[in-house]
Amino acid sequence: MPFTPFHLGPGVLFKAVGGRHFSFMVFGGAQVLMDIEPLVRIYRQDPFLHGPTHSVLGAFGIGAVAGVLGKPIGETLLRWSGIAHAPLTWPVSFLSAFIGTYSHIVLDGVMHRDMMPLWPLAGGNPLLGVIPVEALHLFCLACGVLGGLILARGPLRQLLKP
Ligand SMILES: [Zn+2]
């Protein structure tokens, strides 16, 4: 499914671990860019949904685009929101974008039969069914909960202060 929120679970954990070295916003933007192709194919009623974008090569191209767009768009949104934040640097933008696109093809690869991660070098999907889809969803959910707990640590401690 395009724009599945499950991709964001690991993103929350990456943010909790990476702190100011990881942009959840650029990561999220990369998820949206990755799933434009499947969305267009759904509307066109194509026989398959995951084409070149869902490959190692495609993830590089989309990661590069997300990295270039991520910094200016992310900075603008953060400025509008008025939220205090660390500067969104180019390395952070590109790192977050590539983590976004490559984690995307790994997670999607486990569950989508029509994916060809090694296109154009090889067909087929070696990631398919590596773990059951239910376990994949549980993993993504657990990442989100764990990351959320780590991120909430500071504010929670403040709340619980006598
Ligand atoms: Zn996808």
Mean of the per-residue pLDDT values for the chain? 93
- Check residue 107 and give its pLDDT: 96
CA–centroid distance, 81 to ligand 1, in Å, is 28
Give pLDDT, residue 61: 98
Indicate whether 31 pLDDT > 90: yes
Q: Are the C-beta atoms of residues 12 and 147 closer than 8 Å to each other?
A: yes
Percent of the chain with pLDDT over 90: 86
- Ligand 1 centroid from CA 115, angstroms: 9
Q: How confident is the model at residue 27 (pLDDT cuts 50, 70, 90)?
A: very high
40-51 confidence digits (pLDDT tens) = 999 999 999 999
- Ligand 1 centre and the CA of 156: distance in Å? 34
Please report the pLDDT score of residue 60 as a whole number: 98
Q: What is the pLDDT of residue 3?
A: 62
pTM (two decimals): 0.92
> In angstroms, what CA-CA distances link 28 with 48, 102, 104, 123, 142?
24, 13, 10, 28, 18
In the predicted structure, residue 159 carries a pLDDT above the cut 90: no
C-alpha 124 – ligand 1 centre gap (Å): 16
Angle at 36 between CA 95 and CA 48, to 5 degrees: 115
For residues 156 and 9, what is the distance between their CA atoms, to the nearest angstrom?
Answer: 20
**Is 90 exceeded by the pLDDT of residue 154?**
no
Q: How far is the CA of 155 from the centre of ligand 1 (A)?
A: 33
pLDDT band, very low/low/confident/very high, at 2 (cuts 50, 70, 90)? low
**pLDDT tens digits for 63-111?**
999 999 999 999 999 999 988 888 899 999 999 999 999 999 999 999 9
Distance 132 CA to ligand 1 centre (A): 17
Distance 24 CA to ligand 1 centre (A): 17
Domain ranges of the chain: 5-156
Model confidence band, residue 20 (pLDDT cutoffs 50, 70, 90): very high
Distance (Å) from CA 31 to ligand 1 centroid: 7
